[in-house]
Structure 1
Amino acid sequence: MDILSFIGVVIAFAAILGGNWLEGGHIDTLANGPAMIIVLGGTIGAVLLQTPMQVFLRSMRMMGTVFMPPKHGLPETIEKLVEWSKIARKDGLLGLEAAVEFESDVFIRKGMQLVVDGNEPDDIRRTLEVELDSRERFDLAACKVLEAMGGYSPTIGIIGAVMGLIHVMQNLSDPSKLGSGIATAFVATIYGVGLANLFMLPMAAKMKAYVQQQSHYRELVIEGLAAISEGENPRQIETRLQGFLR
């Protein structure tokens, strides 16, 4: 669990609602159904229009990583790879077949299978690097969906503000309807700017950070498996992989 993400959300809400309260406002003044429909509906509609379905669905699934990031312990992975290198030197590459069956990480399992099948180290490296690059591009494209939402929502908020002002102008003769139109105008702007700068853009940035972490982890795996395939000394492998630690 990423505690900083939870803290960030709490602080963001507390700052907005607390500041509104200190200024003498009420929470219900920020609750406006029409403004929310305009901003959320318009933003989602614009993003759906520009995004392929596969990328959009991937983005929605990845949003959970902001609060529950994938766990890849680099020291533990290095220890595992070094242990496998010892088995390979002692029993040969076929001795790693049992490790393949019990490995939960799909990327490592695929690489281990390539090693057990006796592929050349360069072939293993190329095959896994193709998958790494493909996953990274797909994940970064998913991150850009949230960036796009962060770009559209302020503009949609302005559209909501203009629509509220149009409503006000159409009802100048009826003062009882002026308040709701003005509220929609200003609250829509708050929703649009707040959605972008408090949520969408920060979430996209954190998702990108986790994508880079996963790529770093997979690069370590590729280097370790290629070294095992080459039959390098376990101590030499451990020393090299230690360079991936920060």
Structure 2
Amino acid sequence: MSRYSTMIAIALGIGLVTLAAGLATGSIAFLWNPEAIAIVVGGSLIAAAAGSTPRHLAETIKLLPALISRQPNAMSIAQWWIATNTSWRREGISALQQFIGTAPSPSAATILQFCADGFDPDEIARLTEQLLTTNAERYQRAIVFFRRIAGYAPTMGIVGTVIGLASALASGGDSATLLLQRIGFAFSATLWGLVTANFLWLPIAQRFESMLQEQRTIDRLHVEAARLVASGSTPLLTRYRLATLLPDTQQQQLLDHDATISSSAVVGSVTHQ
């Protein structure tokens, strides 16, 4: 999945609503209601944040750049581990220290450090699983957080509408045109609540969910590769074992010996769009 696909889809969704509003009314001016937007967006964020701890909230914020940043893919991770194992078999433990600096992620660097420190293979597998479980929990909390915001947004839209209607009724002595205008602006709050919930917060939550599924595949690769490297398995065995964890379309590609790339090439290809 392209790293920009979610942002493009969000923009298209909001653009579609704007276009429909313009075609229906001949104007989109009524959509611009700063007060309603502030109540819907600000209120939803505050309500969701109230149910999170400061630490979890900070972790979720730190994950936001991952929505558009380059992410390692399973195929490149497998190739990196094979190249690492090959160099280790040829050059010894010093090769692992060199590959730590080329790790595609902080987690991979930490796992390889476990191997370089000479821990028992079973202990390395246990430590790796604990490390990756902690990382997965961060994604799960982010998913829950944004789904919570999506749940609050329509309600905050209703709050904005009620405030707008109360304001309109309180100024009943004004002209009918002004009164109708205020009522229209009031209902735009409900619209913003629905739009942000369905075209902003839920897509972000779904994007994190897709990233979590991809991360789980990579996590399984890390656990198995760390165990194989620590136990001194041959690069060929490592290749076959890691291939079984890849999607069917990528298994043969990894097993193809002609597709093996040098360690320097692996470092340059561990990320994708």
TM-score (norm 1): 0.90
Give the alignment of 1:27-38 within 5 angstroms: 27-38=28-39
Shifted more, 212-221 versus 91-100: the winner is 91-100
**In structure 2, what is the equivalent of residue 125 of structure 1?**
125
**In structure 2, what is the equivalent of residue 4 of structure 1?**
5
**In structure 1, what is the equivalent of residue 88 of structure 2?**
88
- Compare the two structures and name the one with the higher helix fraction: 1
**In structure 2, what is the equivalent of residue 45 of structure 1?**
46
Tell me if structure 2 keeps the 8 A contact 1:139–1:211: yes
Tell me if structure 2 keeps the 8 A contact 1:17–1:27: yes
Shifted more, 18-27 versus 172-181: the winner is 172-181
Tell me if structure 2 keeps the 8 A contact 1:62–1:207: no
**In structure 1, what is the equivalent of residue 144 of structure 2?**
144
Tell me if structure 1 keeps the 8 A contact 2:48–2:148: yes
Partner SS, residue 51 of structure 1? coil
**In structure 1, what is the equivalent of residue 164 of structure 2?**
164
Give the alignment of 1:1-246 within 5 angstroms: 2-66=3-67, 68-103=68-103, 105-175=105-175, 177-246=178-247
Shifted more, 128-137 versus 211-220: the winner is 211-220
Partner SS, residue 103 of structure 1? coil
Q: Per-residue displacement from partner, 1:104-137 (whole Å, max 9, x unpaired)?
A: 5321221112112211111000001101111111
Matched to 1:186, the amino acid is: F
Tell me if structure 1 keeps the 8 A contact 2:60–2:138: no
Structure 1 unaligned segments of length 5 or more: list them: none
Structure 2 unaligned segments of length 5 or more: list them: 248-273
RMSD over aligned Cα atoms? 2.0
CA distance in 1, matches of 2:90, 2:99: 14
Matched to 1:192, the amino acid is: G
Shift of 1:60: 2.6
Tell me if structure 1 keeps the 8 A contact 2:30–2:185: no
Matched to 1:140, the amino acid is: Q
Matched to 1:22, the amino acid is: L
Matched to 1:35, the amino acid is: A
TM-score (norm 2): 0.82
Shifted more, 217-226 versus 72-81: the winner is 72-81
Shift of 1:74: 2.3
CA distance in 1, matches of 2:81, 2:90: 14
